[in-house]
Structure 1
Amino acid sequence: MIVDMQHAASDPSVGGKAGALARLDSAGFDVPPFFTIVGTPDPSALASALAALGAGPYAVRSSGLQEDGAAHSHAGQFESILNVGPADVPAAVERVAASGERDGIAAYRAGHGLEGGGRPAVIVQAMIDAEFAGVAFSADPVTGRRDRIVISATAGLGDRLVAGEIDGSTWWIDTTSERVADASGDDALLSPAQLQAVAALVRQVEAAFGGPQDIEWAYAGDRLHLLQARPITSPIREAPIADDGIAVFDNSNIVESYPGIVSPLTFTFAAYAYARVYTAFVGLLGVSSAAIGANRNVFENMLVRVNGRVYYNLGNWYRALALLPGYALNRGFMETMMGVGAPLPAEMAARLEVAPATGWAKTREYGRLAKVAFGLLREAVGLPARARDFRLRLDRALAATTPERLKAMPLTELAAEYRRIESDLLDRWDAPIVNDFLCMIAFGASRRLLETWLAEDGLQIHNDVLIGQGDIISARPAQLIRAMGARAADDPGLIAALEADDRAALAASAIAPDIAAYVAEFGDRCTEELKLESVTLDEDPRSLHAAIAAAARSRAAPPVRNSDPFARLHAGLRGRPLRRMVAGALLRWTKNRVRDRENLRYERTRIFGRARRLLLAVGRQFHAAGLVEDPRDVFLLTIQEVLGTIEGFAVSFDLAGLAALRRGEMERAAASPDPGERLIVRGGAYTALTALSAARSEEEGTERKGTGCSAGRATAVARVIADPRGQSIAAGEILVARHTDPGWIALFASASAIVVERGSLLSHSAIVARELGIPCVVGLKGATDWIRDGETIEVDGASGLVRRCAP
């Protein structure tokens, strides 16, 4: 008997596959035409059916009674024959039907407790001349995840892919973000539009059948055909409830403080510190206790950790700022200070929008603004005294216990010492945070004012004003390295000892006292200094020795400063005395705030240095007690787990197990691609993370523009540095990096210019480069991929232009 396509859906004798294809055709899917043979066909009826189907070739396939069922797919059990010519169809039909009597199928059915069996019905279907073909799953058949679509494809027919003879190319598509979460093989085999079309097709089939589906598909030209559909028979998880929550994570600026993979201990210590500091700050500015309490979750989640990397939870920064009046103005200033380079997604921006106050609400808003303005004025006037008191309090807190005393403390005393530092310093972090906020306002307002009055010249004057303040402590390490390099320049043996890290020879050298003084003052100022797990200079001074050697060989000339920016300001505003007075006063105030911001951040380094020593002492005690395999495993725990183990509130005392788990997680994170500068998260933070920053251009080009932040030009060999602890630059080369932190200062001493992929005008690299008079460009997207190590480039630190020079 021959059953045509239109009647197959209502005839159970055609088997599972033919019935499913007929239902798909009735639902409007592009299924190649077919007919089904049940039993032995009449030759004339077969010839008529083939003539109606077309000239061929054909695909001859099985359709068993329970094939492609919800419980048992029978995948690969029966035979299928492709590219069958009209004359060969009868033999192919018999061969496919006879495959139902093989021993392997009998064993399959017996193993699944199925009765019956025998010869299946046979489908004869028009063959598609496929350009690409493959399979798709509306849920991940391996993990059971309902938020993943899996697509596999190969060029030409997909039979070898379906049979498992070749791997093909595979894509895992996140259904939340509609983007590719992972891929293997030739990920360019299908275009993005083709991938989305296949993903849409498998979802439509799932909707038609009411459950997760496994389909076979083929592209012929621009036409997408559906060749087969069956339920996924492996266990599938329950579909997650739709979640319209959205968050944006951004690390444009914080990557300078916490680059790369960050340990659980560092992250939880920093997140807790941010919560305490910013809660206290908004209270200082007059935000009520009730408002602070209602937004407790905002302050506790200002930082997030994604695949080992630290990000700002950007929405919560806007929410915290919205607690203060003047949100619309301060929002722009905050974005400049944090280096936020892209707008928020429209749907999130709408949720964060603060409606303009009207009527009495507007009057109350003005009252709040006046209260905060008065508070800021009070804080601005009292800031020098507050900063002085803060430093005295810090000195007293750190002097109360010496680093050597920490090594001899038992665990309970170490926990008490941590709590004391937490109470005395983190809860009273007033001067740095007040100055940061004033710096944000001063920097943004002065820059906007000069741009309004003097256009591009105003922006250049703004940059130049911040050069050469002479009292920024972050510039002092580079200055000391240059000085030590100058002393060693005429001593080849000393330079060789520095390069070889010959500590015995260096201990007897003329610069030994200088090195010791440097380590005593800046021993905690190492690469990635705010990561508690970082090894400091007093533990390993090799990078310092290498930097002094590089400075000794460079004999760098003192930087050439631009002309007096205040003189240029007065010239530009000639005839406008009031504007000159306002601009001059605002610039001087800004200059002081930037200086104090950088200097007070050094105090943060001192606290983190003390916390590092204290927690290492805890690690040694945990190791002595057999709780961890290595003292440094303490960095693989959270601060709550460390304190809870000592004070009693821990939920697990298997610290070695926790450390092993976290070590594996960090190793996997380090081996994975960087998630990107900005991520969007829809739903819970565990879900898909999608980069929002502009994709790097496929076109190489010879010129790109970042943010110019320190005037001057340099043309030299580019040295792309990933880790300053194991790489160096020669005198006069241009330093190119993805990000920098204070520990990179040793390399600044030898650089003729600096190009950084991340950062803003108030980034550490920008501030120190201005202080040292080195041309600097930050925020040059894709710099470390675009610029090749060893090629010659030209850097314009004023305009932000970077050019690759012809070889």
Structure 2
Amino acid sequence: MSALTTVSDSSMGSKAFGLVELDRLYPGLVPSFIVLPVEDLVENWHDLRAAAHTLVAEYCAGTVDDAAYAERSARLVASLSIAGDVVEAALASCGGWGSVSVRTSALAEDGVEHSFAGQYETSLDVPTESRPVRDAIGASVASLFSARVAAYARARRMSSLEIGGSVVVQQMFVGTTSGVLFSENGRGELTLAWSRSARNTTVEGENAHELRASKVSDWPSGLPAPARLLDIAVDSEARLRRPVDIEWAARGSQLALLQVRPQTTVALDYELAWDCTNIAENYPGITLPLTYSFIRGLYSRVYPAFFRKLGVNQKVLDAKQQVFRNTLGYLGGHVYYQIDNWYEMVRLIPGPSSNQAFFSAMLQPQRTPGDAPRRRLGLRGALTMAPLVGRLGVLLLRSNSMSKTFSRTFQKRLKRFEAVDWNTLHADAILSTLETMRAELLTLWATPVFNDLRVMIFHGLLKTYSFSAEQHADYLGYLHGLSDRASIAPLTALGVLGNRLRERHGEAATADGILSSPDWMATRVLVDEYLARFGGRAPDELQLENPRLADDYASLLALALGTDPEGRPPVDASARSITGRFGTRFIGRNTRQAIDWRERFRFNRAQVYGLARAAYLALGQRLVDAELLETANDVFWLTEQELDEAVFGHAWSSDPRSTVARRRAEFGTFEQRSLARRVVGSGLIAPAALRDDEQRSASGMAAGMGVSPGVLTAEAIVVHAFDPTIDVRGKILVTSHIDPGWTLLFVQAAGVVTERGNALSHVAIIARELAMPAVVAAMGAVDTLSTGQVITINGTTGDIDAAL
């Protein structure tokens, strides 16, 4: 039962009033307390208050410095005269309490604008004896005008301070857990911070545990306090019509409410981080709106299907829909990973916290989130996790057979869609057929994503368990030697085509000469044979707006004629046999098998994108015929949603031409801007205020990563855009990125330096299989190095030596 000295609501202070309200609403949860008005406790209060008020006002105005304030406030404290009879009367009401806490309930404290949290004096575990309680009360009263409180007021540009209120004497609740709860963090979540401590204090700092709970979902299990605490927080927020801060303690199922106050602010600023280290290999430079909307839709569908395959509960997946919808970012026409959401997805993968480190080792982002917290499962959590871990293990064992089944089913379904003549379909039928294609092919795509998980796990083990950082060359050696060299097949076949073209048209043949030759129709049979096998491959092939090889015979002919007539000397395809830690050979074999499949699945993905490009071009032509677009290629400036609205009658505007014109102008400015590999946005709308977050060397070039061993000194050739006519033979190709389509050009070079990529990038895989020295992730290389400059690259260390 609470005892309360007669005092008005307005003079007791917010903290005391909050306790009174808590006790009225939740009887039995608030430890007994007494509210003692300061004007009753201090015999000379009126004179003391007036002097303290003047001193604080002068300090806030800047007419009193710190030293003078300390001297004058010390004299005021010395003049304090505590009314002994009031203290004794309070002690008489504390019978059986054992010990008490003594704290202020200042008039200025716990306000909506200024909380003064932690500024006033609180005494804990005070024995219920006259002298200790009196001293604690005196310390609380003196803190009403302490230098710390005055400095807090001046820092917040307050001109004066309302001095007064009450002192709360409360029975100590000896709990096993204590903490604070904030009812809103700006994300519709409650935030609990606590420590395993009997001291009922606000928990702050590194030793605190933290848990967040959505206010629109069922409360999570494993709470540090009875779930009723969360209900009370939501009720208090609704009653006060503002977020609240509750101090609490618990012992088993027993809950104690120690105070409630308004949160002074809810931080409405938020931060998002984007990283393009890996994805820029597939979407370099400017990517047009249709491609971005297409891939965003794919990602948001594929990853929930993947996690369902792993056995993750649908309820968990439903709660993560915002994560799945926001795996990507579109900044100034560039595609990025919204990197924190990828780590959020990694945390859904059953198994150890090392999954995060493995993911970082595969992706090589500019910054990592630090060590993942260890999972404290408990018995219930372990029982829930065990079947998921077991399922993951079974799927890993079946990975090869699953991939083979995918390939057979994919090719069977793909042939049906390759037979579609998009030019004979109505506009609405084009979109409907595209949706059917997505549904039929994407239902299969959980298998390629699972193979990526296999790459992540075994590559992570290879890099972090089998070899140390000093054994980087040995680690790269274990990545070399793919069992299925499907990724090399287009390059080998291109060399064969080049030799056949030279045999038929002479050593000095050119692409234009062959196209104008009387023998072109016969030669075309050879070219079409190549395209039938590898026509889905093209530079920047995952950008729908880019032509395929089949769209431009001249480019393919130039690439074939640019191959070395003698071809590259054969390279030993077997992996290096290096004695590592126990299990290294098994780990290495699984890593290479998973990379094999990953390369094949990349080609399958390119095939899907090629079909989508043909479909959208056909739709673009319908819009041209309807006088809604100028050219069929303008379709790539619109989004999937805008096309759907135009075709099915949901659009607010019936003039897509104006949208295309506006975007062309906007993207013209995007072309002039170079974004870093990692970009951070923060503010009320995070993407509206972006800043680069990337380290560069003094020369402006980031440190490179060696991904294919070998030291090479040769002339550099800097290439800004894919050009099939460039002669790179015997040179070190320097470019911003190399995707699978680019390999048709770079395979002719002696070595390669790219600004993007990592050890598992396509450029790294091909370079290792061809024994070509390669350095990736050398940001700034294109601007720093120049064509004709002789440079030396080290494909193991990543060093680039040049006369800069």
With the shorter chain as reference, the TM-score category is: 0.5 to 0.7
Provide Cα deviations, 1:679-709, integer angstroms capped at 9, x if missing partner: 0100324412111011352478xxx852111
1:312 pairs with 313, 337, 352, which one? 337
1:481 paired residue number: 494
2:775 paired residue number: 777
2:295 paired residue number: 270
Counterpart Cα distance in 2 of 1:619 and 1:609? 15
CA change 1:288–1:714 in 2 (3 A) is same
2:319 paired residue number: 294
- Counting matched residue pairs gives 542
Amino acid at match of 2:453: F
**2:535 maps to 1:528:** no
If the length of structure 2 is used for normalisation, what is the TM-score?
A: 0.63
2:790 pairs with 789, 792, 795, which one? 792
Structure 1 residue 592: Cα displacement: 0.2
1:558 paired residue number: 569
Counterpart Cα distance in 2 of 1:610 and 1:699? 41
Counterpart Cα distance in 1 of 2:302 and 2:659? 29
Provide Cα deviations, 1:341-386, integer angstroms capped at 9, x if missing partner: 3235xxxx7xxx865444xx43344344433322222222332332
1:469 pairs with 474, 482, 486, which one? 482
Amino acid at match of 2:480: I
2:704 paired residue number: 706
The answer for unaligned runs of 5 or more in structure 2 is 1-60, 64-265
Structure 1 residue 262: Cα displacement: 0.6
1:275-354 equivalences in 2 (<5 Å): 275-326=300-351, 328-344=353-369
Amino acid at match of 1:663: R
Secondary structure at the aligned position of 2:614 is classed as helix
CA change 1:367–1:729 in 2 (3 A) is farther
1:723-734 equivalences in 2 (<5 Å): 723-725=721-723, 728-734=726-732
Structure 1 residue 717: Cα displacement: 0.7
Counterpart Cα distance in 1 of 2:538 and 2:576? 35
**2:527 maps to 1:515:** yes
Counterpart Cα distance in 1 of 2:759 and 2:372? 27
Secondary structure at the aligned position of 2:398 is classed as helix
**2:598 maps to 1:597:** yes
2:692 paired residue number: 691
Counterpart Cα distance in 1 of 2:357 and 2:776? 19
Provide Cα deviations, 1:474-515, integer angstroms capped at 9, x if missing partner: 222222222333445667x54443354641339549864432
Counterpart Cα distance in 1 of 2:481 and 2:354? 30
Secondary structure at the aligned position of 2:453 is classed as helix
Counterpart Cα distance in 1 of 2:604 and 2:400? 15
1:355-754 equivalences in 2 (<5 Å): 355-358=373-376, 361-402=377-418, 405-452=421-468, 456-457=470-471, 459-469=472-482, 471-488=484-501, 493-500=505-512, 502-505=514-517, 508=520, 512-552=524-564, 555-558=566-569, 560-561=571-572, 565-567=575-577, 569=578, 572=579, 579=581, 582-670=583-671, 672-683=672-683, 684-698=685-699, 705-725=703-723, 728-754=726-752
Counterpart Cα distance in 1 of 2:393 and 2:537? 33
Provide Cα deviations, 1:565-601, integer angstroms capped at 9, x if missing partner: 543x1xx45xxxxx55x11111111110011111111
Q: Does the CA-based 8 Å contact 2:280-2:335 persist in structure 1? A: yes
CA change 1:511–1:364 in 2 (3 A) is farther
Secondary structure at the aligned position of 1:428 is classed as coil
Counterpart Cα distance in 2 of 1:787 and 1:667? 26
Counterpart Cα distance in 2 of 1:368 and 1:624? 58
1:182 paired residue number: none
Q: Does the CA-based 8 Å contact 2:696-2:703 persist in structure 1? A: no
Counterpart Cα distance in 1 of 2:523 and 2:768? 28
Structure 1 residue 667: Cα displacement: 1.9
Amino acid at match of 1:450: S
Provide Cα deviations, 1:599-636, integer angstroms capped at 9, x if missing partner: 11111111111111111111111111122121111111
Q: Does the CA-based 8 Å contact 2:539-2:741 persist in structure 1? A: yes
Counterpart Cα distance in 1 of 2:293 and 2:725? 30
The answer for unaligned runs of 5 or more in structure 1 is 1-25, 29-240, 574-578
Structure 1 residue 280: Cα displacement: 0.9
1:147-158 equivalences in 2 (<5 Å): none
Q: Does the CA-based 8 Å contact 1:249-1:314 persist in structure 2? A: yes
Amino acid at match of 1:751: A
Counterpart Cα distance in 2 of 1:695 and 1:566? 34
2:255 paired residue number: none
Amino acid at match of 2:765: I
Amino acid at match of 2:397: V
Structure 1 residue 426: Cα displacement: 1.8
Counterpart Cα distance in 1 of 2:605 and 2:781? 30
Q: Does the CA-based 8 Å contact 1:494-1:509 persist in structure 2? A: no
Structure 1 residue 775: Cα displacement: 1.3
Secondary structure at the aligned position of 2:714 is classed as strand
Secondary structure at the aligned position of 2:510 is classed as helix
Secondary structure at the aligned position of 2:680 is classed as strand
Amino acid at match of 1:798: T
2:765 pairs with 764, 767, 777, which one? 767
Amino acid at match of 1:444: G
Amino acid at match of 2:355: N
> What's the Cα RMSD here?
2.7
Structure 1 residue 791: Cα displacement: 0.7
Provide Cα deviations, 1:212-240, integer angstroms capped at 9, x if missing partner: xxxxxxxxxxxxxxxxxxxxxxxxxxxxx
Counterpart Cα distance in 1 of 2:617 and 2:700? 48
Counterpart Cα distance in 2 of 1:528 and 1:357? 40
